[in-house]
Amino acid sequence: MAGRLLIFSGNANFPLAQDIARCLNMPLGRALVGTYKNGETRVKLEDNVRGCDVFVIQPTCIPVNHHLVELLMIIDALRRASVARVTAVIPYYGYAKQEKKTTGREPIAAKLVANLIRTAGADRVLTMDLHAPAIEGFFDIPVDHLQAGPILADAIHGLSLRDVVIVSPDSGGVARANTFRERLQGTGLAMIARQRTGPDAAHINVLEMVGEVEGKTAIIVDDMISTGRTLMDAVTILLERGAREVYACVTHGFCGGCLADD
């Protein structure tokens, strides 16, 4: 039936897709999303999608390249099956840390991924807490950029903590931390200044901390945990500066290799 709503999912987070479908009281669209023996991704839709409004739920988390290709191929399959509209639901947007050139002769991978998603045939993207808000502008299609801040702030309210200070683990996250602080009235703000000399926090020196944390409950606010080094360095300096307790509020936690080299 033209115009009906359908939800499809790749293999990145199938339980999430099932939960969403359950909340909407509807079944997931049937599709075969697997791998051929030669390692290539295989996609085959098993439902009629002609004229339908389809949402594809597929975060591009680890393994990023594999899940990205699944997403692109599902979108392409839908387009070739005469779908009316495709919305790519990408809770975690892979390659978001590569949103600018830090040296010469580097790609801007976040922009490249945006181009691939549009070229595959997506009409709209729905994502959450992009590492760099500027990535929204990389798309030539509408982007719904959701924020986890309200949900995380409600969780903190429920803990009934005293003498709270919100901490940004680096200078780039100050705006995010300050927005979170505004949701928790009566809290302070602190920032840890760092110097990064390698990718994925391979070499980081903590230079200084701005703000008062002695005797307070520190809440570190960040968008993702990758290696875990940034978070652990932040916890260390906060405890050294006299913080009574340290909590962390992080939207994307994908740390299968956390501290693997430590």
Q: What residue spans define the domains of the chain?
A: 5-146, 149-253
The series of mean pLDDT values per 10 residues for the chain, 262 residues long, is 87 97 97 97 98 98 96 98 98 96 94 98 98 95 96 94 95 93 94 71 68 97 88 92 96 62 35
- Say which residues have a Cβ less than 8 Å from residue 185's Cβ, sequence separation at least 6: none
Phi and psi of 107, rounded to 5°?
Answer: -80, 165
- Sign of the C-alpha dihedral, residues 135, 147, 90, 92? positive
The answer to whether domain 5-146 and domain 149-253 are alike in fold is yes
CATH architecture, range 5-146: 3-Layer(aba) Sandwich (3.40)
User: What pLDDT does 194 receive?
Assistant: 76
E strand residue ranges, the chain: 5-9, 31-35, 41-45, 53-57, 85-90, 124-128, 143-146, 164-168, 188-196, 204-210, 217-225, 245-253
pLDDT for res 128: 97
The domain made up of 149-253 is a member of CATH 3.40.50.970: no
Q: What is the pLDDT of residue 171?
A: 86
Say what the pTM is. Answer: 0.89
> Angle, to 10 degrees, between the axis of helix 109-120 and the axis of helix 64-80?
30
* Cα-based angle 63, 65, 67 (whole degrees, multiple of 5): 70
